[in-house]
Structure 1
Amino acid sequence: MSSAAATRADWTDRILELEVGPVAHGGHCVARSEGRVVFVRHALPGERVLAVVNKDGGGSFCRADAVEVLEPSPWRVPAPCSWARAGGCGGCDFQHADPAAQRSLKSDVLAEQLRRLAGIERRVPVEELPGGALGWRHRVRLAVDDEGRAGLRAHRSHDVLPIADCPLTPPGTLPPVLEHGFDPDTEVEVAVDAHGRVHVGDDGPVVQRAAGREWLLSPGVFWQVHPALPDTLAAVVGEWADAPQGGTAWDLYGGVGLFAAVLAGQVGPDGAVTVVESSRQAVADGRAALADLPQVGWRVGRVERVLGGLGARPDVVVADPPRRGLGRELVDALCGHAPDRVVHVACDPAALARDVALFAERRYRLAELRAFDAFPMTHHFECVALLVRA
């Protein structure tokens, strides 16, 4: 079959024998068949598998799930959850890989994104966080089906799976919650606080601790899902921000002020830290938590709308944008304020690489980069980058 014919054919439900190639961003590996690219999940580089095509848009690529491993990778291990399989839960991508191998795969992804999108040859290890690969997820959003039963969604689907538990959450967290009924076709958040108490839905406030402080969080207000990540990020951000005594710092997408608390200690009572955050409830919770730090000011609104009115040139900017990253408009605006340093916190390596390339156009070089496996068993990880003005 020619490449053109293969492109036109609908391969949905077709079973392919594939030699699996490198990992790609998004929780799958790359294979090829009859001139087409196949993004295959539940496989590992170097394996030979049988895979069933589950999505084919008729273009140059399709998506498939490995359903039988003919030649396994030495990295392959038994998945700890029965739902981590073809047609199963969409939450986990790499339960079939040894945790050290997962981190190596994520490091490969980061290096590839930096090379392709930013023109930077750099390999950074993805560092393990305390606690292991299971039981780390202290916040999870459950979907509720049309009969009021809570569960997790299937991969790339709105279907709700009738799970009995999830090994990524602390043992004993979910089974009591899953026994209850909820309003049909809704979602419910389950959070474990710093005391180990389980909060369901609007059962708050949720007590969290990091950077030597305590926050009382209203239901739904953002906090990292891995309990070790807030302190880890706060330490790295503090080291690289290095805001001067009496200086000016901006904390963009600042949430409840985790990084602002660190920056406030650096600039001292004669300095100024401005937090910009669009969630009014997060700002209210942050104001309460940092009430003893008068050098911290708060602006409620979208960063792109507020940035122009922040006033004096900052010595340092910390930015923790959503998954899509900053983008050209915001990078240009930030560089126009000429901070000496920008500390960029990112949960998507492709968005980070695009932003790094945009900063380079404005003569900000990538000085430091670290990555953390804050989401074991999934393809996600967290990065912190330091960009320095040339």
Structure 2
Amino acid sequence: MSADAGGGWVGRRFEVTVGPVAHGGHCVARHEGRVVFVRHTLPGERVVVEVTEDRQKGFCRADAVEVLEASPDRVERPCPYSGPGRCGGCDWQHVAHEGQLRLKAAVVREQLSRLAGIDLPVVVEALPGGPLRWRSRARFAVERTGEPGLRRHRSHDVVVLDDCPITVEPAARAVLGRRWLDSGAVDVAIDSAGVVTTTTLDRRGRPQETQVLRPGADVPEEPAGRAQRSAGGRDWEVEGTGFWQVHPAAADALVGAVTGFAAVQPGETVLDLYAGAGLFGGALAPGVGAAGRVVCVEYDEAACAAADANLAELPQAEVWQGEVDAAGLTDLLPDVGRPDVVVLDPPRAGAGREVSRVLAGSGARAVVYVACDPASLARDVAAFADAGWRLAQLRAFDCFPMTAHVECVALLVPA
């Protein structure tokens, strides 16, 4: 749709008083009867905005390019690449950390209220370590020149970086400031032993070459074995740049929340969906004891192999490879039997109404839902509510400082 389908406002500047925060790292303002989604601002500020995108009749997008009246939560950006028209990797570099926590709590509250009809007080818990140098896994885009960086907001343009202040320093140093010719992107991760793994991808996103750089070494080498991550008082094997919580303290925080909400008893059966490398299933297995059962379901073959290794010494734990969808669950549940507890950690889009409906009818006494998107969580909570369930408890964690993302753990029980 062309800009003319909206108001033709791209490039236009005007003054607004900023309203509430919205899901997605921006705030809501209004001008001449239209909604304006504004980045780089805060609720209550008076700013001059410049429209960056105008494709819809009812709203446009803009950046705050001049602050006339600042919020008390506004600070100087610690990252020199952040700001209007620059790197799109962070949303809240201009906000004090305590202010970021309040903004995220407001978003979670609003999504639950609007999409699930639930009014619930929300507190977002900070994780140890502060808001910088927490990202242990990242993907950097690569320019045609081979220079790495991150993309501008809602753009394919690459902002070339010398550093990324939210990325753990050895991981950032392994990618940035080098040339990656003939690559479209570079994935990088650092494990709990300090080993940095890089995987180049071609311009279609297909993996090319993987190398590891060990602490104290100057020359990368071919990978041997899986990376090690720590959580719940033990080590876990993960594919080098495969999925694991990005913040070094996040896995521990989420395991604590999940095990607390699940409150498993000896002899119970746990169904762990979207199980990844087996983190939650492995943490819950000791609680169900030798007479209990934990069934971990994961689609990705490499993650299943890692889960097999991680759970090898827990005879009550099983790893099943398969898609988590309504049809698959309908076939799987008779084989598992009635689960006492279901744990699920779906991708950003959420579990969806049909999967939620099947789980609500599974006979479980509790569902513990780990969500990285509050809108998806709220929609699925509404689906559970339609099936006679209620949201009993919620914890929220700042697993992604400086960004708009927030991780939630919800306890759902039959009403």
- Please give the range of the TM-score, normalised by the shorter of the 2 chains: over 0.9
What are the within-5 Å matches in structure 2 for residues 175-214 of structure 1?
Answer: 175-201=173-199, 202-203=210-211, 204=223, 205-214=226-235
- Would the aligned equivalents of 2:346 and 2:371 in 1 still touch at CA under 8 Å? yes
Match of 1:86 in 2: 84
- Residue equivalent to 1:273: 294
Q: Is the 8 A contact 2:267 2:288 kept in 1?
A: yes
Specify the SS of the correspondent of 1:106.
helix
1:355 counterpart (370, 380, 386)? 380
For residue 120 of structure 2, what is the aligned residue in structure 1? 122
Task: Identify the residue that residue 377 of structure 1 maps to in structure 2.
Answer: 402
Q: Are 2:117 and 1:95 equivalent residues in the alignment?
A: no
Q: 1:145-193 CA deviation, whole Å, 9 max, x = no partner?
A: 2122211111111111110001101234323422332243522111111
> In the alignment, which residue of structure 2 is the partner of 1:284?
305
Shift of 1:379: 0.3
Query: Could you tell me which residue of structure 2 aligns to residue 27 of structure 1?
Result: 25
Given residue 89 of structure 1, which amino acid in structure 2 is its aligned partner? C
Identity of aligned residues (%): 53
- C-alpha separation in 1, matches of 2:33 and 2:171: 47
In structure 2, give the amino acid aligned to 1:244. Q
**Within 2, Cα distance between the matches of 1:8 and 1:191?**
41
Structure 1 match to 2:273: 252
More off after superposition, 220-229 vs 34-43: 220-229
What SS is found at the alignment partner of 1:190? strand
- Return the letter of the residue paired with 1:73: S
Give the Cα–Cα distance (whole angstroms) in 1 for the partners of residues 85 and 152 of structure 2: 7
Distance (whole Å) between structure 2 residues aligned to residue 8 and residue 138 of structure 1? 40
Distance 1:39 1:185 in 2: 34
Q: Distance in 1 between matches of 2:236 and 2:82?
A: 34
Q: Which residue of 1 aligns with 2:141?
A: 143
Q: Which runs of 5+ in 1 are unaligned?
A: 1-5
Note if contact 1:108-1:123 (Cα within 8 Å) is conserved in structure 2. Answer: no
Give the AA of the match of 2:248.
Answer: P
Q: CA separation in 2, counterparts of 1:172 and 1:342?
A: 38
Give the letter aligned to residue 131 of structure 1: G
1:3 aligned residue = none
- Residue 49 of structure 1 and its aligned partner are, at CA, apart by 0.6
Alignment check: 8 A CA contact 1:75 1:97 kept? yes
Partner of 1:316: 341
Structure 2 vs 1, CA of residues 172 and 294 (structure 1 numbering), >3 Å: closer, same or farther?
closer
- List structure 1 runs of 4+ shifted beyond 4 angstroms: none
TM-score, normalising length: structure 1 = 0.96
Residue 307 (structure 1) aligned with residue 329 (structure 2): yes
Distance 1:101 1:146 in 2: 38
CA deviation digits over 1:205-231, x for unaligned, max 9? 321111122122223321010010101
Are 1:250 and 1:273, in contact at CA under 8 Å, matched by a contact in 2?
A: yes
**d(CA) in 2 for partners of 1:262, 1:218:** 19
Q: Which moved more, 1:268-277 or 1:184-193?
A: 184-193
**What is the CA-CA distance between 1:197 and the residue it aligns to?**
2.6
Q: CA separation in 2, counterparts of 1:285 and 1:172?
A: 25
Provide the aligned C-alpha RMSD in A.
1.4
SS in 1 for 2:391: strand
Cα distance per residue 1:123-157 (max 9 Å; x no partner): 21101000001111111111112122211111111
Q: Deviations over 1:280-331 (max 9, x none)?
A: 1001011112110121111112111431223201000001001111111101
208-217 or 269-278, which deviates more? 208-217
| 1:39-73, Cα deviation, whole Å (9 max, x unpaired) | 00000011111111000014110000011101111
The answer for the alignment partner of 1:219 in structure 2 is 240
Task: Describe the SS at the equivalent of 2:247.
Answer: coil
Give the match's secondary structure for 1:263: helix
**Which one is further off, 169-178 or 205-214?**
169-178
Q: Structure 2: any 5+ residue segments left out of the alignment?
A: 200-209, 212-222
Counterpart in 1 of 2:253? 232
Q: Secondary structure at the match of 2:100?
A: helix
In structure 2, which of residues 362, 367, 371 is the aligned counterpart of residue 342 of structure 1? 367
- Please show how residues 128-167 of structure 1 align to structure 2 within 5 Å: 128-167=126-165
Report which stretch shifted further, 305-314 or 71-80: 305-314
- CA–CA distance in 1 between the matches of 2:232 and 2:168? 23
Aligned amino acid, residue 305 of structure 2:
A
SS at match of 2:150: strand
Aligned mates of 1:7, 1:227 — CA distance in 2: 45
- Per the TM alignment, residue 94 of structure 1 is displaced from its structure 2 partner at its CA by 0.5
Aligned residues: 385
Q: After superposition, give the CA deviation of every residue in 1:86-122 in whole Å (9 maximum; x if it has no partner).
A: 1111110011011000000111111111110111111
Q: Is the 8 A contact 2:6 2:57 kept in 1?
A: yes
CA distance in 2, matches of 1:173, 1:327: 35
SS at match of 1:208: strand
